[in-house]
């Protein structure tokens, strides 16, 4: 039976999906002494990969049937169909349904059965980092939440799962599905992906249109951005200011607010409002159901932007980037 200290000690965990996060979670949980079965489509590359790495592998519906905890680690847009076809008819009463991102539950694309626990555990890092940190005896901080608790152990299950993937070695932060979903989407759209890429493209265009060489512009607004982001990552704005020149610091102070000003913040608030009221979710769901026509057009425009054409030529002359690029190539999305 489950022990009070670890309700998953004698439980079977079904990990659905064996992409970036799925593989890392499954391996870490197994190495933590937990019983793991991987649920993926038979015959696909993930099926063979999981089997080669020693897991019991089953079709999702079969994996769910005997599981005490089902971790849904597939992409957001395939989860509602997966839930309806494989999870809802098969998950045991009192079992736990776990997500690494709250999108579908928060926006009612999945309405979980009332007789199961519904929890969230989201490592704050890509799967490769989650695995690598675990292997060296450390862990990646995790946020966790409880949406539905029918067993009286939902919180304990979430924390035990987070411990199992290494999060307890670092830090566990309590949240809820609403906060996790809305802040995650905002971060991606306003800063990490949308904001950063648009800033880089605008900076590149500004320099090239002013007559500067595209190669020089690439290095100044894209290539060197990694140096600054690494400093942010290691020690925040404080560390960045310690390592850039006084000239760069002064430029930061006087010109930064000219680029990111009150009007920018107001537009960020508009982005956040669209996330909070469901406007973004409705648009994204409709886009996916329509076959991604706008998504494909937007993506192609980014891929064909001159900064990408110049960057491809320059990166070919920087062989040291190839090894370093492997982890960075992993999708930001936490449920691969």
Largest CA distance in the chain: 72
Binding residues for NADP(+): 18-21, 41, 46, 127
Binding residues for Mg(2+): 184, 188, 220, 224
Binding residues: 18-21, 41, 46, 127, 184, 188, 220, 224, 245
Strand order in 69-72's β-sheet? 56-58, 35-39, 12-16, 69-72, 96-99, 117-123, 142-148, 172-174
- Cα of 55 vs its chain's centroid, Å: 24
Establish whether 101 is a catalytic residue. yes
| Three-class secondary structure of residue 298 per DSSP | helix
Binding residues for substrate: 245
The active-site residue out of 10, 25, 101, 106 is: 101
Instruction: Give start and end residues of each alpha helix (H) in the chain.
Output: 20-31, 45-52, 60-65, 79-82, 103-106, 127-135, 154-164, 177-186, 194-209, 214-218, 225-243, 246-259, 262-276, 279-289, 293-303, 306-315, 320-328
Question: Cα(93)–Cα(34) distance, rounded to whole angstroms?
Answer: 21
Q: Would you name the residues annotated as active-site residues?
A: 101
């Amino acid at each position: 039976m489950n022990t009070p200290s670890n309700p998953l000690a004698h439980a079977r965990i079904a990990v659905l999906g064996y992409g970036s996060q799925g593989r890392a979670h499954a391996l870490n949980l197994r190495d933590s002494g937990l019983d793991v079965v991987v649920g993926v489509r038979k015959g696909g590359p993930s099926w063979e990969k999981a089997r080669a790495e020693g897991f019991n592998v089953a079709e999702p519906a079969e994996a769910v049937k005997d599981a005490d905890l089902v971790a849904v680690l597939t992409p957001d847009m395939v989860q509602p169909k997966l839930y309806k076809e494989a999870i809802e008819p098969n998950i045991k009463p009192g079992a736990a349904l776990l997500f690494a991102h709250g999108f579908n539950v928060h926006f009612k694309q999945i309405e979980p059965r009332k007789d199961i626990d519904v929890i969230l555990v989201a490592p704050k890092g890509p799967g490769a980092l989650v695995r690598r940190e675990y292997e060296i005896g450390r862990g990646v901080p995790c946020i966790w939440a409880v949406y539905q608790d029918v067993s009286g152990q939902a919180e304990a299950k979430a924390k035990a799962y987070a411990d199992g993937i290494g999060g307890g070695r670092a830090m566990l932060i309590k949240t809820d599905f609403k906060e996790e979903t809305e802040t995650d989407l905002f971060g991606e759209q306003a800063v990490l992906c949308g904001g950063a890429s648009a800033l880089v493209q605008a900076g590149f265009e500004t320099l090239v249109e002013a007559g500067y060489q595209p190669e020089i512009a690439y290095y100044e607004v894209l290539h060197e951005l990694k140096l600054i982001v690494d400093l942010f990552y290691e020690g925040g704005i404080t560390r960045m200011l310690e390592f850039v020149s006084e000239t760069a610091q002064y430029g930061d102070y006087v010109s930064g607010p000219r680029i990111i000003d009150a009007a920018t913040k107001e537009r960020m608030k508009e982005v956040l409002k669209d996330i909070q009221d469901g406007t973004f979710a409705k648009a994204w769901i409709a886009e996916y159901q329509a076959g991604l026509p706008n998504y494909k057009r937007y993506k192609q425009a980014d891929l064909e932007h001159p900064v990408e054409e110049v960057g491809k030529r320059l990166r070919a002359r920087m062989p040291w980037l190839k090894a370093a690029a492997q982890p960075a190539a992993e999708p930001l999305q936490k449920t691969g």
